[in-house]
Amino acid sequence: MGRGSTTGPRTAPMRSHSALYIDAGYLLAAAATRVTGSSLRRGVRVEYAALLAALAAHVESQSGLPLLRSHWYDAARDGKPTWEQEQIALLPKVKLRLGRIGVEGEQKGVDLRIGLDMVGHARNGAVDVIYLVSGDDDLTEAVEEAQAQGVQVIVLAVPGTDGAALAVSRHLAAAADELAIVPAELLDAAVTAALTERLLRGEHPPAPSASPPPSPSPSPSPSPSPSPSIVANRTRPLPPLSAPQDAGGATTTAPTEDIAADAATSADPCESNGAISAVAARTFSAWAATATAEQLEDLRRNRPTIPRDLDRALLVDLSGALGTATLSDDLRIALRARLWDVIQTDR
């Protein structure tokens, strides 16, 4: 280069990339619903390295672009990673991003981190195609802002047993450039029902009891709607975009028993007895699958107290089965009473 030349070294053009943003709460709860019928995460075993590698390969194949990295969003007590989360953080091209777990077991700050990262990476030109594994309505605005920066956003949904999308908000599906489905074989190879100490001892998960639930107290009052992260754990595939939606913008769903959604607010929970019985049996089976003999004994000894994770999953699963974000007090009482009937049969 001659003296006085103003020409500097040329910068190589930035290569186009895709990126993967995974809401672990949605992915694992929906995958658990697919495998066990309950959203309880402890009911499944996950091969995280295989799952993340397969998702990354799928994204690269579908986008035709190299993957910049995968982002794994989850929650932890005080934001401190668990042993499993630390192992995920050590995987190649995987970034662990943690929110917190609230006093009621709910996730805090996870959606905000996902949205900020998506928009920030879009504005910086770091990626050209975003694949979002989530169903949360709260991410709709972040999707639209990323698109406004010239980035394509594709929502990847977990399939139900019928192959259709599980638990995706209609608003989110409408905002995305495409609603795609995670290949079922990819999930089934990495997420399986938990092998249990009880099964290894020759014991079996509890079966549903044939007795009806006790009569609930009268005068039900509406309960608060679950958060979007709870509503995400539904049990029926995404309906057409013209279908009704609940107040939170989440997809309404129906159970395999085909019980109407309006049963959820009925003053007579006996109309929902089939759903209550099925949910109590499935959710307890998923919980008991990883419980030790001591934990099962503690559960019976501490009646009527129900472990927080089990109680939360019961309410989420019944909301999904009845296709509503609101459960009356009568339904909650009947569901918890039915759980104790199921527990009594597990002897």
Could you tell me the two tokens for 167? Answer: 């638990």
Please tell me which residue, 235 or 338, carries the higher pLDDT value. 338
pLDDT score at 9? 53
Over residues 46-68, the mean pLDDT reads 97
Side-chain-facing half-sphere of 150: CA atoms under 13 Å: 7
Residue 321 in this model has a pLDDT that exceeds 70: yes
Residue 253 in this model has a pLDDT that exceeds 50: no
pLDDT-based confidence at residue 8 (cuts at 50, 70, 90)? low
Exposure b/e, 84-105, CB count within 10 A at least 16 = b:
ebeebeebeebbbbbbebeeee
pLDDT above 70 covers a percentage of the chain that reads 73
pLDDT score at 156? 98
pLDDT-based confidence at residue 195 (cuts at 50, 70, 90)? low
pLDDT-based confidence at residue 14 (cuts at 50, 70, 90)? low
Over residues 42-47, the mean pLDDT reads 93
Residue 4 in this model has a pLDDT that exceeds 80: no
pLDDT score at 107? 81
Contact (CB, 8 A) for 211 and 321: no
Which of 79, 72, 88 is closest to 21 using CA atoms? 72
Choose from 94-103, 218-227, 231-240, 313-322 the range with maximum mean pLDDT.
94-103
Over residues 248-273, the mean pLDDT reads 41
Choose from 43-57, 104-118, 190-204 the range with maximum mean pLDDT.
43-57
Report pTM: 0.74
pLDDT-based confidence at residue 225 (cuts at 50, 70, 90)? very low
